Structure 1
Amino acid sequence: MTGPVLRAERVTLGYARRPVVHDVSLEITEGGVGLIGESGSGKTTLARAFLGLLTPMSGNIWYGDQTLKKVDLRAFRKDVQPVFQAEALDPRMRVGRSIAEALPRAERARVGELLEQVGLAPELADRRPHQLSGGQRQRVVIARALAVGPRLLILDEPTSALDVTVQARVLDLLASLDTERLLITHNLAVVERLCRTSHVLFAGRVVESGPTAELLKSPAHPYTRALRDAVPKLGGEPPQARGRTEAVPAATGCPFRLRCPMAVEKCEQAPEPRDLGGRQVACHRAEDVLAA
């Protein structure tokens, strides 16, 4: 297979016929792709669709040159593996057995090798999850995903439950792996480390897409800038919120306009994504945001 492993083409997703992700198009390209946004922005819903766990209300998810409706699921599950948070491990199952479940019977001797690949001693295979630290459990989850030799890892907040030093070790591990990755997170430092390209979601819509370093250095959408400015800086002043952080997304026009400090009358019309210096931005005032 050449090109992106997965891509979304004008995908709308929802629950009980209520859309929560709207008309999203993106592809998972080399170098890692990040989905950034606050809780409820649609990141995990989109990840579920990429894993084939949620059928689009409209649009398609493509795996190579086929939609997910038509793919060989055995090949797909081997190529695309989720990495959930460490709590996903069965507490009743020993670590070695948990990893071995993903392997053919003839290859189950590889459990020790996989543990070593993620920086764990093979002897830990005999332990249960509660006997491991949070960082160790997260590495076991990664080892289990690597067991089938995937081409793509879909990672949903893989470091959110870990302390800072353990996060650093897990990030070093993920950065060293020879696999493509889709990272769902609200942690900008993590996405900057692991993803060459990022997409910013607000209220189920992609509001800005482009190279991660450029997005975080000079955001072109007020929401991207608000996310960046909300990150505390060591030794600096406390973050200052801009606009109404409590306002719900607008039902018409730009969904961010009720919270946006730069909203004008034109924002009552929904902005279309447009190219701006190598990135896509859905904002009428993107040039003003860059200049601010």
Structure 2
Amino acid sequence: MTVLRAERVTLGYGRRPVVHEVTLDITEGGVGLIGESGSGKTTLARAFLGLLTPMSGNIWYGDQTLKNTDLRKFRKDVQPVFQAEALDPRMRIGTSIAEALPRSARHRVKTLLEQVGLNPDLATRKPHQLSGGQRQRVVIARALAVDPSLLILDEPTSALDVTVQARILDLLAGLDTERLLITHNLAVVERLCRTSHVLFAGRVVESGPTRDLLANPAHPYTQALRDAVPKLGGSPPEAKGRTEAVPAESGCPFRLRCPLAVPECEQAPALRDIRGRQVACHRAEDVLVT
């Protein structure tokens, strides 16, 4: 079942597009948006939340475009989970969570804190009195207060140490709520998302089942992201291609950094079906491991 859908969406700030004609569905089982900083992940998430209006294309929520839907119902069904710094430093934890609840349901603050593995006594504290992991759980509890059907999570574990990350991932994996996860952490997306989309320079370059996509990439950029992950006990990863090169303004945007680039890459590749996924690369067959 599709929860939200982007249909040929172009997004930008002012007149400058930064996301280009993206089409993707947020479906059951968790969906990941993968890419380096500046790839357009957060911009696309802002559009899914209704915080940014597309320059062209549409965001669909059910059978209606977002601009024609009941925003009160939408805000209840789709909740963002930002990083822990989103908490108001002047507001006590219990008050921050209760903000989203009707007056008659504010007794649920205790239950919500317990649901995310926190002691209800923390409700009287302020954010600076909690650890980073505790604050991130408070952000999740606040989002869960309105019983959403979809969580849009923007790097929910990026500022946390590995043991706290593991607790947050266990919590998210156990929730009965669909999720869109924006991250550059491949281990996190593999744990939480059935399907993933890889963005480079505001374009989807590869989409498919997360495990297949990470185990056997079909795009050189996906392969570069995977190979850049350090491995315990191994040598530090070596960068391949010109990692400092900016995206190309014409043709394949990755071609100036791609170690497999050929003259054909001066023509922009379209997304095409290869082995159960979509890939925008002229040399995808050469990247795939047979």
Q: Normalised by the size of structure 1, how large is the TM-score? A: 0.99
Structure 2, unaligned runs of 5 or more? none
In the alignment, which residue of structure 2 is the partner of 1:146?
144
Q: In the aligned structure 2, how far is the partner of 1:256 from the partner of 1:70?
A: 36
1:115-166 C-alpha deviation (Å, 9 max, x unpaired): 0000001111000000101000000000000000000000000000100000
Amino acid at match of 1:242: K
Are the aligned partners of 2:216 and 2:289 in contact in 1 as well (CA < 8 Å)? Answer: no
In the alignment, which residue of structure 1 is the partner of 2:56?
58
In the alignment, which residue of structure 1 is the partner of 2:27?
29
Alignment of 1:155-174 (within 5 A): 155-174=153-172
1:73-99 C-alpha deviation (Å, 9 max, x unpaired): 110000000000000000000000000
Q: In the aligned structure 1, how far is the partner of 2:68 from the partner of 2:183?
A: 29
Q: In the aligned structure 2, how far is the partner of 1:4 from the partner of 1:252?
A: 32
1:180-203 C-alpha deviation (Å, 9 max, x unpaired): 000000000000000000000000
Amino acid at match of 1:254: C
Q: Normalised by the size of structure 2, how large is the TM-score? A: 0.99
Amino acid at match of 1:58: S
Match of 1:42 among 37, 40, 57: 40
In the alignment, which residue of structure 2 is the partner of 1:12?
10
In the alignment, which residue of structure 1 is the partner of 2:120?
122
Amino acid at match of 1:257: R
Q: In the aligned structure 2, how far is the partner of 1:261 from the partner of 1:277?
A: 23
In the alignment, which residue of structure 2 is the partner of 1:219?
217
Q: In the aligned structure 1, how far is the partner of 2:215 from the partner of 2:239?
A: 18
Amino acid at match of 2:240: R
Q: Identity of aligned pairs, percent?
A: 85
Cα drift, residue 17 of structure 1: 1.1
Alignment of 1:265-276 (within 5 A): 265-276=263-274
Q: In the aligned structure 1, how far is the partner of 2:154 from the partner of 2:44?
A: 11
In the alignment, which residue of structure 2 is the partner of 1:258?
256
Query: SS of the residue aligned with 2:114?
Result: helix
Q: In the aligned structure 1, how far is the partner of 2:36 from the partner of 2:267?
A: 23
Moved over 6 A (4+): none
Query: SS of the residue aligned with 1:11?
Result: strand
Alignment of 1:233-244 (within 5 A): 233-244=231-242
Q: In the aligned structure 2, how far is the partner of 1:59 from the partner of 1:207?
A: 19
Q: In the aligned structure 2, how far is the partner of 1:250 from the partner of 1:128?
A: 47
Cα drift, residue 236 of structure 1: 1.0
Alignment of 1:89-108 (within 5 A): 89-108=87-106
Query: SS of the residue aligned with 2:199?
Result: strand
Q: In the aligned structure 2, how far is the partner of 1:217 from the partner of 1:5?
A: 27
Cα drift, residue 291 of structure 1: 3.6
RMSD (Å) for aligned C-alpha atoms: 0.7
Amino acid at match of 2:195: T
1:258-285 C-alpha deviation (Å, 9 max, x unpaired): 0000000000000000000110000000
Query: SS of the residue aligned with 2:288?
Result: helix
Amino acid at match of 2:152: I
Q: In the aligned structure 2, how far is the partner of 1:83 from the partner of 1:103?
A: 16
Query: SS of the residue aligned with 2:27?
Result: coil
Query: SS of the residue aligned with 1:28?
Result: strand
Aligned length: 290
Match of 1:198 among 196, 200, 203: 196
